[in-house]
């Protein structure tokens, strides 16, 4: 058996990952390398400070924001991802540099559909040799983009949405293997392709917090049990929180609170939902902001409960995996549990529809002791680590070796 | 400092009463009358009754002696109507200056100014009380400011005690502290909801700092029983709490007393009215001039009456100027059509108010929303028919004795006002019947009803 050579193409840097998509990409690369394969990774993304300041990989390319505002003649906001594929594919220098970096490969793993035009260029030019395409879907993207367009009232988005759906279908059709993050997404994509579609859910990197950091946060937060919500500013994370708790956070007692960690906090606090009962909600929120890993680990270990208030968005939620992994109380909407349905019944997990019942469930968990330690549940939770969740994908890629291209 | 007691105590929170130095407004009156009933009428029941004040600065409660509470009740109980407590000269000047400024201040500043003034006075009072040794040593045990929610609350309460608070809790009580005490000691708490106007009509009121929603919800979390001053208030309070997702404690409707000690003789005609006296009868509206009270509809109605060629009764507004009526005040000052018709009186004495009620043809009360409608009931208690708004609790307050109109239906107001002005005998008959048949609710009954709820409050009976 020869050593498999893989080029992983992504739409954000995989080094120093911060948001969920980056974390999945980084773990994907690590999982392939753990199999002993020769993995090279390159990403093309808008040159936002969020990415550029955090550091990029040797073949990563930040794209000028101004050139990502239109796709095939349709100008619109929030389409930098879609626009990036054509921009890179049409840039001879960037393609040549990528070819030089990748060398000959057996497999190109395309994470998310946006760079399919680049893959097509690479295949047409032949410099990489014949390769199999693995399409890594993180979401069924076009309905997600539709929801974002609606939230931000983007007009005339239909051609763009049609373009995204077409791109996703082409990815599935051209792929020798597709990875989905939930069974639900896998079912949708299976309808577009004859290729095998495997489910490889998002996972968890076990963490450990240090006593000094925990003490510091304990002093800031007090002794009352609190619920933790960790999320990025991704719009469904904001919408989900606001909709899941009903009209306000009044279901929490005067001593209870939800600690917001991550960039979601800023957006929740600015939302009309929050401001309409501002002082009431403010009394029940602690804005921890964007945190370093050590702080986030401390908060996870101090939290009495986790809230997963998702009502929209595709894919599976990294934060769901992390919350389930803790063995603490978890109050989740059915949507937040997408991809983790097998974990229903874990001690401490409550799946609650958005609305008044959600807040009451959070109140209730904060009045109860932590779920009892349970060996069987512990074993089930171990299946949430990245090495376990990505194993089906790695196995399927290994099987591609024998497949003629 | 907990005092061992054979039976659980009933603690009456009296910070509002202890801070109050003016003639009582509705909320203060409730607290005052309940205390009076406990101390003067309650008899044996009052043996278990103790009084406390809250200190926001330390997040603590401290006991207040009965004598101190009685001293606060005494002036109102013993003074004649005209013997009002007066502020010292310079304080009165400062207060009047600040009150005069209120209409010109940005709305968000008004509650802060009021609250700061009250809190400053509150701290002054606590200092005096401590110096006099009235407050127990417990209050000295905790110092420092800020968030006391995670500090052990200091209070004289013992496990199983009962607590009732009827005052301006949004200004004087740290509800986190109260909730923590309740959780720790199993206090059985009775709190009160006078209205939920800031939640339903925030544009009609000046919101207290911290937000009324936060107060109302935390009140619900702290209360084992909530007193409401009307069925309408009970419905609105429960609806708002359910809407927000808060628990809904058991609610109980109490009727506010409104018996009026009429002065001897005919009272004294206010000078301001005498200046405009031309022999015409007058219609009386007793209320602070603020948007919610809807003086606007009466001003418009009077202009319409004039435009129709009707020489209307005079209209007398009694009350200080509040928030949100700057344009109306300009209209009242400048509109030539009503210069001979609408009279504004402020700082009237009890004797003058007595005279006004005796002499008026009838009263009006076109408010957009009320938690109860005490002025309407007081008008009836004084034997005067009231043409009132049909909004919120007012039909409940006035029952069959008043007539109700949509507060925004100008043609209806014009028509009914013209009708009564043109049919004085009908008004006289209505007034005569009200004088003969209307029985004003008594404060002692209100206090007894409050006490019954206080004694029956039990944790865990609410709706979640």
* Percentage of chain B modeled with pLDDT above 70: 77
Q: What is the mean pLDDT of residues B434-461?
A: 93
From the list B417, B433, B330, B436, the residue with the least C-alpha distance to B366 is B417
Q: For residue A32, what pLDDT is reported? A: 97
Instruction: Say if B244 is an interface residue toward chain A (CB within 8 Å).
Output: yes
* Average pLDDT, integer, range B33-61: 86
Half-sphere exposure of A253 (CA within 13 A, CB side): 23
Q: For residue B448, how many other CB atoms are within 10 A of its CB? A: 16
Residues B121-150 pLDDT 10s: 444 444 444 444 444 333 332 323 345 555
pLDDT bucket at B433, cuts 50 / 70 / 90: very high
Distances (CA, A) of B132 to B127, B195, B338: 9, 36, 54
Q: How far apart are CA A185 and CA A138, in angstroms?
A: 9
Interface check B460 vs A, CB under 8 A: no
Rounded Cα–Cα distance for residues B381 and A42 (Å): 85
Q: Which of B105-109, B201-205, B287-291: highest mean pLDDT?
A: B287-291
Are the beta carbons of A358 and A309 closer than 8 angstroms?
A: yes
Q: Say which of A223, A248, A360 has its CB closest to residue B244.
A: A248
pLDDT for B262 equals 62
> pLDDT exceeding 70 applies to what percent of chain A?
98
B208 touching chain A per CB within 8 A = no
pLDDT tier at A21 (50, 70, 90 boundaries)? very high
pLDDT for residue A251 is more than 90: yes
The residue among A254, A273, A283, A367 with the most chain B CBs within 10 A of its CB, best to mutate, is: A254
The length of chain B, given as a count of residues: 464
Burial class (CB in 10 A: 0-12, 13-18, 19+), B63: buried
**Chain B contact set for A280 (CB, 8 A):** 211, 213-214, 217, 244
Least confident among A126-130, A235-239, B244-248:
A235-239
Using CA atoms, how far apart are residues B462 and B190, in angstroms rounded to an integer? 12
Residue in chain B lying closest to A221 (CA): B150
For helices B175-185 and B212-222, the axis angle rounded to 10 degrees is: 10
CB-CB under 8 Å, A223 with B244: no
Whether residue B464 and residue A360 make contact (CB cut-off 8 A), yes or no, is yes
Distance from CA of A332 to the nearest CA of B (A): 18
- B271 at A interface, C-beta within 8 A: no
Structure tokens at A405: 């291209």
Cα A123 from chain centre: 28
Residue A372: is its pLDDT beyond 60? yes
For residue A400, pLDDT beyond 60? yes
Give the tens place of pLDDT for each residue, B375-396.
999 999 999 999 999 999 999 9
Record: contact B149-A222, CB cut-off 8 A: yes
The number of C-beta contacts closer than 8 angstroms across A and B is 60
Q: Is residue B103 classed exposed, middle or buried when 0-12, 13-18 and 19+ CB atoms within 10 A define those classes?
A: middle
pTM above 0.80, yes or no: yes
Residue A253, classified by CB atoms within 10 Å of its CB into exposed (0-12), middle (13-18) or buried (19+), is buried
In chain A, what residues touch B183 (CB-CB under 8 Å)?
255
From A376's Cα to the closest Cα of chain B, the distance in A is: 34
Tokens, residue A345: 């019944």
Give me the residue from A250, A253, A278 closest to B244, CB to CB: A250
Predicted confidence band at B24 (pLDDT cuts at 50, 70, 90)? Answer: confident
Mean pLDDT score, A367-378: 93
B195-237 pLDDT per residue, tens: 999 899 888 887 654 588 999 999 999 999 999 999 999 999 9
Angle between helices B66-78 and B26-36 (to 10 degrees): 120
Query: For residue B127, what pLDDT is reported?
Result: 45
* 8 A C-beta contact, residue B390 and residue B404: yes
Tally: H helices and E strands in chain B: 19, 13
Contact (Cβ atoms closer than 8 angstroms) between residue A328 and residue A226: no
Q: Is B285 on the interface with A (CB under 8 A)?
A: no
Cβ separation B150–A224 shorter than 8 A: yes
Average pLDDT over residues A85-106: 97
Which of the two residues, B276 and B202, has the higher pLDDT score?
Answer: B202
Among the partner residues B218, B241, B245, nearest to A359 by beta-carbon distance: B245
Reduced to 3 states, what is the DSSP secondary structure of residue A339? coil
pLDDT score of B205: 81
Minimum-distance CB partner of A254 among B175, B241, B243: B175
At residue B78, the pLDDT reads 44
State how far the Cα of A103 lies from the Cα of A3, in Å rounded to an integer.
14
Helical spans, DSSP H, in A205-317: 211-221, 235-244, 264-270, 272-276, 278-282, 293-302
Assess B150–A contact: CB distance below 8 Å, yes or no.
yes
Give the range with max mean pLDDT: A178-182, B130-134, B198-202, B352-356.
Answer: A178-182
What would the mean pLDDT of B335-349 be, rounded to a whole number? 91
Cα A193 to chain centroid distance, Å, stands at 24
Shortest alpha-carbon distance between residue A206 and chain B (Å) = 32
- Stretch (H or E) spanning B414: helix B410-422
Q: Which of B165, B168, B171, B169 is nearest to B209 (CA)?
A: B171
Under the banding of pLDDT at 50, 70 and 90, the label for residue A333 is very high
Nearest to B360 by CA among B305, B315, B407: B315
**B140 or B318, higher pLDDT:** B318
Mean pLDDT of B41-53: 79
CA distances, A360 to each of A250, A256, A280, A402, B462 (Å): 9, 12, 16, 54, 14
CA distance B243 to chain A (A): 7
Q: Does A10 have pLDDT greater than 90?
A: yes
Please classify residue A266 by burial: count the beta carbons closer than 10 Å to its beta carbon, then call 0-12 exposed, 13-18 middle and 19+ buried.
middle
Residues of chain A contacting B221 with CB distance shorter than 8 Å: 253-254
pLDDT at position B203: 84
Q: Which of A223, A224, A356 sits opposite B245 (nearest CB)?
A: A356
pLDDT of B87 reads 42
Q: Which residues of A65-85 are buried (b: 16+ CB within 10 A; e: fewer)?
A: eeebeebeebebebbbbbbbb
Per-residue DSSP letter, B338 = G
- Using CB atoms, pick whichever of A224, A247, A282 lies closest to residue B245: A247
pLDDT at site B137: 35
Most A CBs within 10 Å, among B244, B249, B462, B463, to test the A interface? B244
The string over B110-122, giving b where at least 16 C-beta atoms fall within 10 Å of a residue's C-beta and e elsewhere, is bbeebbeebeeeb
Tell me what the pLDDT averaged over chain A comes to.
Answer: 94
Q: Do A360 and B245 touch (CB under 8 A)?
A: yes
Whether A222 and B150 lie within 8 Å, measured CB to CB: yes
């Amino acid at each position: 058996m020869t050593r498999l050579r893989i080029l992983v193409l992504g739409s954000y840097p995989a080094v120093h990952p911060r948001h969920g998509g980056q974390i999945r990409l980084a773990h994907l690369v690590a999982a392939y390398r753990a199999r002993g394969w020769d993995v090279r990774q390159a990403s093309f993304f808008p040159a936002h400070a969020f990415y550029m300041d955090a550091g990029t990989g040797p073949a990563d390319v930040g794209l000028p924001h101004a050139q990502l505002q239109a796709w095939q003649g349709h100008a619109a906001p929030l389409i930098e991802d879609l626009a990036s594929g054509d921009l890179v594919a049409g840039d001879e220098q960037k393609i040549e540099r990528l070819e030089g970096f990748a060398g000959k490969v057996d497999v190109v793993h395309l994470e998310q559909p946006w760079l399919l035009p680049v893959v097509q260029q690479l295949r047409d030019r032949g410099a990489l040799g014949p390769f199999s395409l693995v399409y890594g879907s993180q979401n069924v993207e076009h309905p997600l983009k539709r929801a974002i367009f609606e939230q931000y009232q983007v007009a005339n988005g239909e051609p763009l949405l049609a373009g995204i759906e077409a791109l996703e279908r082409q990815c599935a059709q051209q792929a020798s293997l597709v990875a989905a993050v939930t069974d639900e997404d896998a079912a949708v994509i299976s309808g577009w392709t004859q290729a095998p579609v495997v489910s490889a859910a998002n996972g968890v990197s076990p963490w450990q917090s240090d006593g000094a950091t925990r003490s510091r946060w304990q002093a800031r937060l007090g002794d009352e049990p609190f619920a933790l919500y960790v999320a990025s500013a991704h719009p469904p994370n904001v919408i989900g929180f606001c909709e899941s708790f009903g009209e306000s956070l009044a279901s929490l007692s005067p001593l209870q609170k939800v600690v917001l960690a991550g960039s979601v906090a800023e957006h929740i606090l600015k939302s009309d939902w929050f401001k309409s009962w501002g002082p009431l909600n403010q009394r029940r929120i602690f804005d921890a902001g964007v945190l370093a890993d050590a702080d986030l680990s401390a908060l996870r270990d101090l939290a009495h409960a986790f809230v997963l208030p998702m009502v929209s968005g595709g894919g599976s939620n990294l934060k769901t995996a992390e919350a389930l992994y803790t063995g603490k109380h978890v109050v989740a909407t059915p949507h937040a549990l997408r991809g983790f349905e097998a974990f229903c019944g874990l001690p401490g997990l409550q799946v609650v529809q958005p609305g008044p019942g959600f807040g009451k469930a959070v109140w209730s968990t904060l009045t109860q002791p932590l779920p009892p330690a349970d060996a069987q549940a512990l074993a089930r939770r171990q299946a949430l680590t990245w090495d376990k969740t990505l194993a089906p994908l790695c196995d399927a890629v290994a099987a591609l070796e024998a497949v003629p291209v | 400092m907990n005092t061992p007691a054979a039976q659980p105590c009933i603690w009456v929170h009296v910070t509002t009463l202890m801070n109050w130095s003016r003639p009582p407004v509705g909320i203060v009156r409730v607290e005052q009358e309940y205390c009076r009933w406990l101390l003067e009428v309650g008899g044996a029941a009052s043996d278990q009754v103790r009084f406390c004040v809250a200190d926001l600065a330390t997040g603590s409660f401290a006991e207040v002696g009965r004598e101190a509470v009685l001293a606060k009740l005494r002036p109102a109980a013993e003074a004649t109507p005209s013997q009002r407590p007066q502020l010292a000269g310079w304080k009165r000047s400062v207060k009047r200056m600040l009150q005069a400024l209120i209409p010109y201040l940005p709305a968000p500043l008004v509650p802060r100014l009021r609250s700061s003034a009250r809190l400053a006075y509150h701290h002054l009072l606590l200092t005096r009380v401590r110096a006099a040794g009235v407050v127990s040593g417990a209050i000295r045990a905790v110092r420092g400011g800020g968030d006391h929610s995670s500090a052990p609350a200091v209070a004289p309460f013992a496990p199983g005690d009962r607590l009732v608070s009827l005052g301006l809790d949004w200004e004087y009580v740290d509800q986190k502290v109260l909730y923590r005490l309740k959780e720790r000691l199993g206090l059985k708490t009775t709190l009160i909801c006078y209205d939920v106007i800031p939640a339903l009509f925030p544009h009609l009121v000046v919101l207290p700092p911290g937000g009324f929603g936060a107060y109302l919800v935390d009140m619900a979390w702290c209360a084992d029983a909530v007193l409401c001053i009307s069925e309408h208030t009970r419905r609105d309070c429960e609806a708002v709490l359910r809407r927000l997702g808060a628990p809904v404690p058991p609610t109980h409707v109490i009727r506010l007393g409104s018996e009026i000690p009429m002065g001897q003789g005919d009272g004294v005609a206010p000078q301001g009215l005498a200046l405009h006296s031309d022999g015409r009868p007058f219609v009386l509206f007793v209320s602070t001039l603020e948007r919610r009270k809807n003086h606007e509809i009466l001003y418009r109605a009077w202009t319409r009456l004039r435009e129709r060629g009707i020489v209307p009764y005079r209209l007398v507004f009694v009350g200080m100027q509040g928030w949100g009526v700057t344009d109306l005040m300009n209209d009242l000052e400048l509109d030539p059509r009503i210069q001979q018709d609408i009279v504004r009186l402020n700082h009237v004495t009890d004797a003058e108010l007595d005279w006004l009620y005796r002499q008026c043809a009838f009263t009006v009360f076109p408010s957009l929303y009320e938690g109860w409608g005490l002025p309407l009931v007081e008008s009836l208690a004084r034997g005067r028919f009231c043409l009132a708004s049909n909004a919120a609790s007012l039909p409940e307050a006035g029952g069959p004795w008043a007539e109700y109109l949509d507060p925004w239906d100008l043609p209806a107001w014009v028509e009914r006002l013209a009708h009564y002005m043109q049919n004085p005998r009908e008004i006289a008959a209505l007034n005569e019947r009200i004088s003969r048949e209307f029985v004003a609710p008594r404060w002692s009954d209100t206090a007894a009803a409050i006490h019954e709820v206080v004694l029956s409050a039990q944790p865990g009976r609410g709706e979640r």
